[in-house]
């Protein structure tokens, strides 16, 4: 095996376990809270907000540390080991209030590793003269595969309703942490001049990107799309499961296998990631992100009109479209940050992209959507899912139209091709 192939395999391993350690419990923690612990929806719902809250500050903070003071792969390893240790504690928690804080601490350690894993992969690929636009997506696809494999292992070992799901995640996280110390070194750029300002010294230069119209617009729309990102994660499975309340659909495959049907979304992701190099070079970042926004409109609209019988194709097509909606925004956005920002603030800029999407955007999306659903679409505990999904579709359409008008970017295929240097 030549050195270049070896590097790719090592990054594939990192990517696979990066999302494996999350997928082991993220989709099934609800089943654990409801079935094993008997907690209420409100008690469980608060736990999900920890993902967004930790993303508000940790990715940007760790990006600054990786840019200025500590090797990215070492910081990454330390965070995963700490995350694994916290997961080991979860089975001993018997109060929803305590679990909220325990998961919050776990997310403080985990969420920044998503953008850090991108920074490490980009750094190693570039140093070895790979083209990140072409070579990163086939590596990143293994992250989604890792997430799916972890879901299946949790289900097949009978762990989805007990605390073993956290033990599975913890063991893999600590193993990944130790493994990351063996990765090629990714030292800080350390380019602080003698007369540097306090802002430069503490690594807040990335916030200067907001002074650039194009980057400011990019981060603003990253926030708007980040709000849409959480909606199907939060409500998708409940929506499909609610069809059991309609007699003609009560025994349908959609109700019986709602989680498996929702996993078509993740499987679709693995396919769309591989098309990103082609689409980015052919159409450019603006059009690719516009495709993502249109895909979000379709994702929600197809759910609005789908049902488990003659409308089953709409539900399945919605799950397939999700792959484009998620990847063309998340992965392409990360590549855009990588190819348009100065090398000295790249880790910070990746952290900021993560903060705008999974932090501010996701937090506002979860809070505002919850208020809108409770106020306008819930009667006697019954939800008007058609109205809910239609509202989300209209929101996504407005965001897409504004993006088309306000985001100015001239596509240069050579700039993307030269991203390896």
Confidence of residue 196 (pLDDT cuts 50, 70, 90): low
Would you say residue 201 has pLDDT above 50?
A: no
pLDDT digit string (tens) for 323-348? 999 989 888 888 888 888 887 777 77
Assigned token pair, 75: 């910081």
Single pTM value for the model: 0.77
42, 60, 195, 209, 241 from 54: Cα distances, Å: 20, 10, 33, 22, 29
Would you say residue 416 has pLDDT above 60?
A: no
Would you say residue 99 has pLDDT above 50?
A: yes
Confidence of residue 197 (pLDDT cuts 50, 70, 90): low
Would you say residue 176 has pLDDT above 80?
A: yes
56 vs 30, which has greater pLDDT? 56
Report how far residue 56's alpha carbon sits from residue 33's, in angstroms, rounded to the nearest whole number: 25
Locate all alpha helices (DSSP H) within 128-163, ordered by sequence: 132-156
In the chain, what is the straight-line distance between the N-terminal and C-terminal CA atoms, in Å?
24
Judge whether 10-189 and 204-421 match in fold: yes
Mean pLDDT over residues 199-224, rounded? Answer: 78
pLDDT value of position 40: 60
350 vs 179, which has greater pLDDT? 179
Among positive and negative, which fits the CA dihedral 289, 295, 299, 304? positive
> Which distant-in-sequence residues (6+ apart) come within 8 Å of 402 by Cβ?
221
Our measurement of the distance from residue 117's CA atom to the centroid of its chain's CA atoms, rounded to an integer in Å, reads 12
pLDDT value of position 349: 83
Q: For the chain, which residues make up each domain, given as ranges?
A: 10-189, 204-421
Question: Locate tokens 């192939």: which residue?
Answer: 5
Report how far residue 330's alpha carbon sits from residue 318's, in angstroms, rounded to the nearest whole number: 18
Query: Helix %, strand %, coil % for the chain, to 5?
Result: 80, 0, 20
53, 267, 363 from 97: Cα distances, Å: 16, 34, 19
Q: What average pLDDT does the structure give for the chain?
A: 85
CATH 1.20.1250.20 matches 204-421: yes
Among positive and negative, which fits the CA dihedral 241, 40, 108, 178? negative
Q: What is the CATH number of domain 10-189?
A: 1.20.1250.20
106 vs 210, which has greater pLDDT? 106
């Amino acid at each position: 095996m030549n050195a270049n192939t070896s590097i790719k395999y090592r990054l594939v391993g990192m990517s696979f376990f990066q999302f494996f350690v999350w997928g082991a419990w993220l989709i099934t923690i609800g089943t654990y809270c409801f079935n094993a612990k008997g907690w209420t929806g409100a008690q469980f719902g608060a736990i999900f907000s920890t993902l967004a809250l930790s993303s508000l500050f940790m990715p940007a903070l760790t990006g600054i540390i990786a840019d200025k003071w500590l090797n990215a792969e070492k910081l990454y390893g330390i965070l995963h080991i700490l995350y694994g240790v916290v997961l080991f504690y979860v089975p001993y928690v018997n109060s929803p209030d305590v679990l909220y804080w325990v998961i919050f601490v776990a997310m403080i350690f985990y969420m920044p590793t998503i953008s850090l894993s991108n920074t490490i992969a980009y750094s190693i690929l570039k140093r070895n003269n790979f083209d990140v636009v072409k070579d990163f997506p086939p590596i990143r696809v293994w992250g989604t595969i890792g997430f799916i494999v972890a879901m299946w292992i949790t289900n097949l070992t009978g762990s989805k309703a007990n605390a073993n799901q956290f033990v599975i995640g913890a063991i893999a996280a600590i193993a990944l942490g130790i493994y990351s110390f063996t990765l090629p070194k990714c030292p800080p750029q350390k380019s602080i001049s003698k007369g540097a300002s306090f802002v430069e010294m503490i690594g807040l230069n990335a916030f200067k990107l907001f002074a650039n119209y194009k980057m400011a617009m990019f981060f603003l729309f990253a926030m708007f799309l980040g709000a849409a990102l959480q909606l199907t994660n939060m409500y998708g499975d409940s929506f499909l499961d609610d069809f059991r309340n309609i007699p003609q659909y009560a025994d349908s495959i959609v109700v019986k296998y709602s989680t498996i049907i929702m996993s078509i979304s993740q499987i679709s992701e693995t396919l769309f990631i591989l098309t990103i190099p082609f689409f980015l070079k052919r159409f450019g970042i603006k059009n690719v992100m516009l495709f993502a926004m249109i895909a979000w409109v379709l994702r929600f609209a197809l759910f609005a009109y789908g049902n488990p019988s003659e409308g089953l194709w709409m539900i399945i097509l919605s799950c397939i479209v999700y792959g484009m909606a998620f990847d063309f925004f998340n992965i392409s956005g990360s590549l855009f940050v990588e190819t348009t920002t100065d090398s000295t603030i790249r880790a910070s800029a990746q952290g900021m992209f993560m903060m705008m999407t999974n932090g501010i955007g996701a937090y506002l999306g979860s809070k505002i959507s919850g208020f809108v659903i409770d106020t306008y679409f819930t009667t006697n505990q019954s939800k008007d899912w058609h109205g809910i999904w239609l509202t989300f579709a209209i929101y996504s359409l407005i965001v897409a139209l504004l993006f088309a008008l306000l985001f100015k970017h001239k596509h240069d295929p050579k700039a993307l091709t030269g991203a390896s240097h």
